[in-house]
Amino acid sequence: MTSQKTPSTKTEKTASKQKLRGIIDYQTITSVSGPLLLVEGVEGVKYEELVEIFLPSGERRRGRVLEVNQDKALIQVFEGSAGIGIGQTRVRFLGKGITLGVSEELLGRVFDGLGRPRDGSPPLIPEEFRDINGLPINPYARSYPNEFIQTGISCIDGLNTLVRGQKLPLFSGSGLPHNRMAAQIVRQARILGAEEEFAVVFGAMGITFEEAQFFIDDFRRTGALERAVLFLNLADDPAIERIATPRVVFTAAEYLAFTKDYHVLVILTDITNYCEALREISAARKEIPGRRGYPGYLYTDLATIYERSGRIKGSEGSITLIPILTMPEDDKTHPIPDLTGYITEGQIILSRTLHHKNVSPPVDVLPSLSRLKDKGIGAGKTREDHADLFNQLYAAYARGKEAAELAVILGEAALTDIDKQFMGFAESFERRYVSQDEYEDRTISETLDLGWELLIMLPRAEMKRVRDENLVKYYDKAAAKFKKSEEKHAS
Amino acid sequence: MNRAEDVGRILKVSGPLVVAEGMGTSRMYDVVKVSEKRLIGEIIGLEGKRASIQVYEDTGGIGPGEPVYPTHDPLSVELGPGLVAAIYDGIQRPLSDIAARTGSFISRGVEIPALPRERRWNFVPQVKKGQKVTVGDILGTVSETVLIEHRIMVPPDLSGEIVEIKKGMFTVEDTVAVIKDKDGKKVNLTMMQRWPVRRPRPYKRKHAPYEILSTGQRVIDTFYPLCKGGTACVPGPFGSGKTVIQHQLAKWADAEVIIYVGCGERGNEMTDVLIEFPELADPKSGEPLMKRTVLIANTSNMPVAAREASVYTGITIAEYFRDMGYSVALMADSTSRWAEAMREISGRLEEMPGEEGYPAYLSARIAEFYERAGLVECLGSDDRRGALSVIGAVSPPGGDLSDPVVQATLRVVKVFWSLEANLAYARHFPAISWLRSYSLYTPSVAESVRETLGAKFLEDSKEAMRLLQEEDELAEIVRLIGIDALSPKERLIMEAARSIREDFLHQNAFHEIDTYASLDKQAKMLSAVLRYYREARKALDAGADLDDLIELPVREKIARTRYIPEGDRERIPKIEEEVVEAISSLKRKEEVTS
């Protein structure tokens, strides 16, 4: 087989190409629409490649290749397309993906949404550069998250237990105190019996200056700032940059956790803004939209972010993720909370009704869930009665809420005695168990004992979810203690 | 390896979709290797010499001009000893070997054979030299695990006379038999076959399923049973326990081989299976459950296109074990992620979308998939039968059952286990709605259930369902007017239904005993629960006080029958006797006082 060589008769396609130290600059932008640029006549461009864009004003922006079709490349500009003109703007393909330089010096620093210093200090000297897209964790190499994290918040520790390596989002709404709750978790989270503290990687996407400042101040006050890395893309920063922010966050977190053995707590806020940026790109590309205009690949996209948390066999570190999202119109079936719930290992839902009733934190206990709790609790981890206790608390609270609903319609008199008892239980449960001060740090045994203290309001025969030995050991003990204190009061 | 003119060139890269030219010698669904990184892809469209390729690995850094190498083979799986207890990705690459080679993260372009090539298996021949064999006949067996005897079969499209048959230790690539086919050509057979995943494996004929596939889950076995060879779906919003149900079925279903496909779901769930299954004992044999399980894991962060392939990989492996004459159950969690992968590829191909952006062929693909289940007479001269049951989880957006994937699935499956968020919030698990679910197999299994458990169980199950339905209607009245509007008889129905729900249907998957209930234990528990209702009803007619009946302490014992170990289940009828005794002593007391 001889391949015939055709002499290269092609002249350079465009005069606008300039050769600069072996890197080609193109001035062949043919269309600009929203945050997208189309560059023609390109050669050797790769999918997902990092791009630099030089504006006539001397400004330099960054983008990435979204699609490449023969000699046409579609580019997404992180900082938006304002000021980009056809014919004057130069585009340079850098031959690599977007990377983040990582080293332990990350801790204590503040960066922008693409990983450039924002705190006025010089750029750090990286140990290595990592592609921000990362690689999928091999499920075979994962180690199952089962170490209990005590957050000191009863409705998390007792009912929706968080474990190391879990991803547990806060589903909230505008105006609800999700930031305070997240800050409380960062403040109080600890592993029982271990002294090491969590390193915090904080990613802000489109939140306001005030919200970001709240976290920074709280981190500073508690000393968490020294072991924190912050990536801030605020509301007035370029929206498209947000698409890179969670990936940059996880690149830093993976480095700290799996290379440097830190236990990392990642806070991402607000996922809703991230998804909206994604929708903007999808709309600009004229893709067929899925539900509510969000792209059909939203699930996959979110999964490639969230699934980067976890634990890996043979590595000391872990990544625990708490993403925060505000549900539009408090609607849990909106695509963002819906798809998030399908990926994360549970959810903590904040309720506006409870917030109005002055229950704080206003956690809606019934639809909240931690999927990994079962392996993180029990003898040796928390206490042997934990599983029975929370099952019983849930069942009793659900029945109490049902009775309360009935009472609203028919009046309390229409309830049976037992239903009245359940209703009373539900009220005390919200007031004493769910409610807790922002600075109150309850130990796990305090939380569990409080649960039994509430359950003795109900007859023993109703404790159907509790096995016999725990009934004797805990229910009867709590009941006896209560009786004793009653008698003391009486005498 | 490839002739130069066969090699194509990339024109376009858009996410997992690559378009290449110069692919004239390739056919639809052929596997290709993309770029020098040799990423695995599959041709999903041809137009002239131009091919659309879905790539099973991340395409970052790939660009126009790079080569595409054809293999001229369709996407296939390797079938043979070594499958059991393995964990594969969506295109049957062993994840354990990938981890050994590339570490904790999956890098690209890894090529590792699915079946271990070094390992030797003890091949025990079942045929003799000179014997005539036909397609599907068992040449010999390999004891793969304690639970699975791997039957090496004559591959499809082959029959003839055994010229040579070996005995002893061989690898999957060694020749174990030589067959002279009808044209007189000698064919060397190994223990390994290859089969294209998108083509169903052949069988002699299909039969209607009739035997119950017991799952140890009370609400399923008693009310909405599944058959060996049947199909079921579990749709539900997030947090309603789809995955727990799938895991429970994988653990306790009365099948000989389990194929678990984690399609676009959480990585930790697969890890959970990997850690738990080797430790859990099969209720029948006492052996670790892992020894009858094959795992396919294409988690949500792994490439989308391979997710699309993973369900086909899974079901082809399942069919292979079915062909050996086993009862196989396949769990796919979740088929919605598979459908979404189809949607994403379809969108990139710029196909005209059907409902919700899903491709117009969505329901056809779903139907084809579930139709690969069934009770079949396998190929081969013996009349062995194999069954393949398929249970698919569906994750509709917002739990909305009008979702196209749910609707397309409901049109083909025979069992519908409807998961409800409200039940899950009240921690009533499994959160399978007893009013909205259905099983079209209830009449089919009646006969076999009657033979094993007796007619009483069938009557009890009907009676329990009737009580639950009456409760639903009465609850409506209570909501409107209050409990006082009900007569004592009606209040007793409410109590009995509550007992059915809380003491029988509710089942704790994480409790070491409650997690599994044999059919016999289920029958005994239900009998005790209903006995209370029947006796109380009689007592009520005889003038007993309702509150006394409701407050009987013996009811606590009924509630605790779930914690009675399988070995002690004879204690349950004794509790039932205590119920009768307690109620009649109540009656006697009344007589004395009156």
Q: Which residues on B lie below 8 Å from A297 (Cβ)?
A: 15, 304, 340, 344
Q: What is the DSSP letter of B483?
A: G
**B454-593 has which fold?**
1.10.1140
CA–CA separation, B489 vs B538, rounded Å?
A: 10
CA–CA separation, B539 vs B535, rounded Å?
A: 6
* CB-based contacts of B267, cutoff 8 Å, min separation 6: A137, A139, A142, A307, A310, B297, B299, B300, B301
Q: What is the DSSP letter of A369?
A: E
CA–CA separation, B334 vs B320, rounded Å?
A: 22
Q: What is the pLDDT of residues B423-450, one digit of tens each?
A: 998 889 999 999 999 999 999 999 989 9
Nearest residue in A to B105, CA atom: A137
Q: What is the pLDDT of residues A155-202, one digit of tens each?
A: 999 999 999 999 999 999 999 999 999 999 999 998 887 777 789 999
Which of the residues A5, A45, A133, A300 would you substitute to probe the B interface, choosing the one with the greatest number of B C-beta atoms within 10 Å? A300
CA–CA separation, B416 vs B439, rounded Å?
A: 6
Q: Cβ–Cβ of B560/A67 closer than 8 Å?
A: no
Looking at CA atoms only, how far is residue A117 from chain B in angstroms?
A: 26
Which CATH entry fits the domain spanning B205-440: 3.30.540.10, 3.90.1570.30, 3.40.50.2000, 3.40.50.300? 3.40.50.300
Q: Cβ–Cβ of A97/B61 closer than 8 Å?
A: yes
Q: What is the pLDDT of residues A88-110, one digit of tens each?
A: 899 999 988 999 999 999 999 99
Q: Using CB atoms, which residue from B63, B95, B553 is nearest to A47?
A: B63
> Please, are residues B433 and B401 in contact by the beta-carbon 8 Å criterion?
no
Q: Closest by alpha carbon to B519, among B216, B147, B83?
A: B216
Tokens of A384: 């042997």
- Cα A150–Cα A151–Cα A156 angle in degrees, nearest 5: 100
- Cα B494–Cα B496–Cα B502 angle in degrees, nearest 5: 100
Q: Which residues on A lie below 8 Å from B267 (Cβ)?
A: 137, 139, 142, 307, 310
Q: Is the pLDDT of residue B80 over 80?
A: yes
Measured in degrees and rounded to the nearest 5, phi and psi for residue B543 equal: 100, 15
Q: Cβ–Cβ of B272/A144 closer than 8 Å?
A: yes
Q: Is the pLDDT of residue B328 over 80?
A: yes
CB atoms within 10 A of CB A97: 19
- The pLDDT, as a whole number, for residue A11 is 38
- The pLDDT, as a whole number, for residue A18 is 47
Q: Cβ–Cβ of A139/B483 closer than 8 Å?
A: no
Size of chain A, expressed as the number of residues it contains: 491
Q: What percentage of chain B reaches a pLDDT higher than 70?
A: 98
Helix axes B571-593, B519-541, angle to 10 degrees: 10
> Please, are residues B232 and B412 in contact by the beta-carbon 8 Å criterion?
no
Q: Cβ–Cβ of B63/A134 closer than 8 Å?
A: no
Q: Which residues on A lie below 8 Å from B65 (Cβ)?
A: 43-44
- Count CA atoms closer than 13 A to A3's CA, side-chain side: 6
- The pLDDT, as a whole number, for residue B345 is 87
The single residue listed with the structure tokens 């038999």 is: B177
CA–CA separation, B354 vs B362, rounded Å?
A: 8
Tokens of B259: 């194929």
What was the ipTM of the complex prediction? 0.88
Tokens of B167: 């005995």
Looking at CA atoms only, how far is residue A216 from chain B in angstroms?
A: 31
> Please, are residues B372 and B315 in contact by the beta-carbon 8 Å criterion?
yes
Query: Would you kindly state where each structural domain of chain B is located, as residue ranges?
Result: 4-74, 121-193, 205-440, 454-593
Helix axes B455-481, B488-499, angle to 10 degrees: 120
CB atoms within 10 A of CB B354: 15
**B4-74 has which fold?**
Elongation Factor Tu (Ef-tu); domain 3 (2.40.30)
- B121-193: CATH class: mainly beta
Q: Which residues on B lie below 8 Å from A49 (Cβ)?
A: 61, 63
Mean residue pLDDT of chain B comes to: 92
Q: Cβ–Cβ of B87/A143 closer than 8 Å?
A: no
Mean pLDDT of B204-208: 95
Q: B121-125 and A170-172: which strand pairing?
A: unpaired
Residues in a beta bridge with A266: A201, A321
Query: Helix/strand/coil (H, E, C) string of A262-315?
Result: CEEEEEEECHHHHHHHHHHHHHHCCCCECHHHCECCHHHHHHHHHCCCEEECCC
- The pLDDT, as a whole number, for residue B182 is 86
Cβ–Cβ contact A15 with B under 8 A:
no
CA–CA separation, A57 vs A79, rounded Å?
A: 15
* Cα separation values, A95 from A43, A45, B58, B256, Å: 11, 7, 17, 52
Helix (H, G, I), strand (E, B) or coil at B54: strand
- The pLDDT, as a whole number, for residue B3 is 65
Q: Cβ–Cβ of B267/A70 closer than 8 Å?
A: no
- Print pLDDT tens along chain A (491 aa): 334 444 443 434 443 444 444 578 899 999 998 899 999 999 999 999 999 999 988 899 999 999 999 999 999 999 888 888 888 899 999 988 999 999 999 999 999 999 999 988 998 899 999 999 999 999 999 999 989 999 999 999 999 999 999 999 999 999 999 999 999 999 999 888 777 778 999 999 999 999 999 999 999 998 889 999 999 999 999 989 999 999 999 999 999 999 999 999 999 999 999 999 999 999 998 888 888 889 988 999 999 999 999 999 989 999 999 999 999 999 999 999 999 999 999 999 999 999 999 998 999 999 999 999 988 899 889 999 999 999 999 999 999 999 999 898 888 888 888 999 999 999 999 999 999 999 999 999 999 999 999 999 999 888 988 888 999 999 999 999 998 988 888 77
Kindly state the helix (H) or strand (E) to which residue B536 belongs, with its residue range.
helix B519-541
**Burial per residue of A253-291, b for 16 or more beta-carbon CB atoms within 10 angstroms, e otherwise:** bbbbbbebebbbbbbbbbbbbbbbbbbbbbebbebbbbb
> Please, are residues A242 and A273 in contact by the beta-carbon 8 Å criterion?
yes
Q: Cβ–Cβ of A342/B4 closer than 8 Å?
A: no
Helix (H, G, I), strand (E, B) or coil at B141: strand
Q: Closest by alpha carbon to B130, among B158, B165, B162?
A: B162
